[in-house]
Structure 1
Amino acid sequence: MSARNILVINCGSSSIKFALVNEAQQSFAISGIAERLGSPDAVLHWQLGDKKHSAMMAFGDHQAALAELMPKVQAAANGKLHGIGHRVVHGGEKFTTASRLNQATLNAIKATSPLAPLHNPANLLGIDVAMKLFPNLPQVAVFDTAFHQTLPQHAYRYALPESLYREHGVRRYGFHGTSHRFVSRHAAELCELSVGDSSWLVAHLGNGCSTCAIVNGQSRDTSMGLTPLEGLVMGTRSGDVDPNLHSHLARTLGWDLEQIDHMLNRESGLLGLSGLSNDMRTLEQAREQGHAGATLAIEVFCYRLAKSLAALSCALPQFDGLIFTGGIGENSPLIRTMTVAHLKLFGLVLDKEANARMIRGISGPINAKDHPRVLVVATNEERQIALDTLALLN
C-alpha cells in the first residue's frame, strides 16, 4: 500500500493552521496558515516545497479559507487524501485517545466547551466546515488533554469541595499533550531506550509553556491545570499566582472578572514582567543591551521553569533525562543554560558547544559527558496528530 496523506487542521477563532503530512516523509508537502479571517485583511499563506505564497481573501471566513486551500492540498497530495486530523484543545474526561468524528463525538466536544470557551468553539467551527466540504472523507479529533488522562487522582484533583469536581468537572486536565507525547517517544528512540521503560521531564516552551513528567510513555503530572493559565510563566500568561489575587484586585482596584482575566492571560508573563515584549528573541537581545525588565523577565521565567521541573520529579520512579522542546526550548541556548543552572541537585551539566549547536529544529543531547541526559528534541505536533489519525483509520 502506498504511503497515505493526512491533512492536519488547527482551527482558531480567526485562523486556520494546516499541514499535509505523508506518513513516509518527514517534511510537509504543503503547510500554512489562513489568518485574520472575517476581516478586510484576511489572507492565506502557504509553503509548497521551498517556495512561499500568499493570497488575499478580503472578509473571507473559515469556509472560504478551506475552499481556497483544499485544491492546493489535493494537488500536493496528487489527489490522494486519506483523511483529516483536527486538533481539539479540550476533551475533558470523555476522551482519553483520538476519536473518529461523528455526531456523538461532536456532541461530547460541545459539552466540554465551557472548560475551553476560547478554543473548543473555534475548533468545532473548523470541523463543521471540513465535514460539510468533505462528507465522505474520514475525519478524526485529536485532543490536547487526552495524553494527560493517565494522571493519578492525587495529581489531577484540586483541594476543593467534591461537588465542584463531580458536578462541574473542576480538576487539572493539562495541555500540550500531543507535543509531550511526541518528544518523549522520540527522545527514547534517540537514546535507544524503550518507551515502555523510560522516565522523562519535558519542558515545552513557546508562547504557551508547560512541563510534564512522563513515565513509560504516559503522563504522570503536568504544570497546566483546569485551563492553560496554570503553571509556568508564558508569553503573555502569568502562570501561577496567589488564588486570592482576584478578590484583592476586585477590592482594592474595583476590577471585574473580565478585566482580571484579560490581565492574567494577555498582559502578564514575559510581556508584563519586561514591559517590552512577549517574544523571547526580543528579550534576549534587550538583555544583552542591559534592559532591566527583559533581564528580570528571563530570570523569573527560568527560575519558575526549574522550580516546576524539580516539583514534577516527584512523579518519576527514575530519571532518564530532561527534554527541551517548543520554539524557545529548541532555539534558546541561554534559557536552557539558565534553567539547568537552577537544577544543581540533579547533577545536570551542559556541554556548551553542543548546547549552542542545537537550534533551528536540530535534535540531540546537550549534556556534558558522564552527566545525566539533557536533550533538545524538535516537536512535531502535526505529525503526531496525523499518526493518531492513521492509527484510527487502520
Structure 2
Amino acid sequence: MTASRADTPLVVSAFGVRVRLDFAEDFAADAAARIRESWTGAQVVYDPAEPDETIVVTPEGDLEALAELLTVKVTLAALERRGGELMMFHACGVADPAGRVAAFVGPSGRGKTTLSRALGAHYGYVSDETVAVDPQLAVSPYRKPLSVVRPGMPKEQVSPGGAGLLPVPEGPLLLSALVLLERDADHPAPTIEPVAFPEAIAEIAPQMSYLAELPRPLQTLATLCDRIGGVVRLTYADASTVPPIVPALLDHERVHEDWEPAGIDVVHPEFDLSDVTDAIRCGDRVVVLAHRWVSVLDGIAPVIWDALRAGRSTGEIVDDVVAHFGHPEQGDPHDLVRTAIDQLVDARVLVRRG
C-alpha cells in the first residue's frame, strides 16, 4: 500500500508559513504515517489552496534520518520565507496560560531541546529551535517535532504530544522575556541577572536568522529588547530546576537603557564604511553590524566612530580623542588612534580607500 499526494496531504505551519509535504507515489504508507504523527503539533487543517512552500518527500535511506532531514528542510524554507519580516531567534520557547512567551536563546549545545521538554510539561510548547517575533512582540509558534538525540543514530523526531508537552494557550502569544542561556554543571541553583544592551545584542545577534535583512537591524532588535524590559541571563545546572522560576523570568525587573542610532550618513574621504548595515550608541559604547557580524566598540573607539560619522580626517580624529580623554600619560595619541583604526579595519568595519 502506498501513500499518494492526492489522498494524504500534510500541511504544517512554521512561523505562520504553510508548508505542504508531498509524499512521492512510492512512499510507504506506514512511513508517511510515522512522519505525519511527528508533525501533529504543527499540522494545520488541509486547505486545497496553494501553500506558501511545497516539499516533495521521497523514500531515501533510513526513515529517522529522512525525518530529521525533513525537519531541517521545513525549517529552512520557513526561515527564508519570513527573512526580513520577523526577528527569528535560535531559541526554545514556552508560553504561560496568559500567552506570555519566554524565549531561551543560545547556540547548539546549551540544552534547548532538553529544556523544552522540561518546561513544556508545565507550559505551552512554542518551539525547541526557533522563536519568531514580529515588531509588535507577537510570537508565531513553530511546534515542530523535537529532535531527540540517540547515541550513534540519527535523532528521533518526536511530536510534542508524544513527548508529553502541553499545547499553547488560546489567543495571541506575546514575547515577554528574552533569556540568554548559560549552563553550568557546578551552579547550585538557577539564577537570573540582567544583561546590558551591548553585551546582550552581541550575544543574541549570532543566534538570529536573517538579522541583516531586517530594516535597521540593530535598532529593531534594541527596540524589542527595550519593550520587554531588557534581556536577562539564566544560569542553571539542570533543566529540571528551571520550570519553577519561569514566572520570575516572565516578571523579571524591567530595565530601560537609552540608545540612539549611530549610523554613517556621510561619505568619508579616507575610509569606506558602506559595509556597515546599522549601528547604535548605548552610553559610552557603540554596537556596529557589518558583514553580518556584530562588533561592540569601547575605549576610544566610540569617539573615533563619532568622528568618522562626521567625516573628520585622521588628524581631526586624534584631536577629538585627546579632547575627550586628555593627552595619554604614555604613548603618542596618533599611534593609539592608528592602532584602534587598524582594529576596526581588521574587524571589517572599515575599509581604507586607495
Give the number of the structure whose residues are more often helix, by fraction: 1
Larger Rg: 2
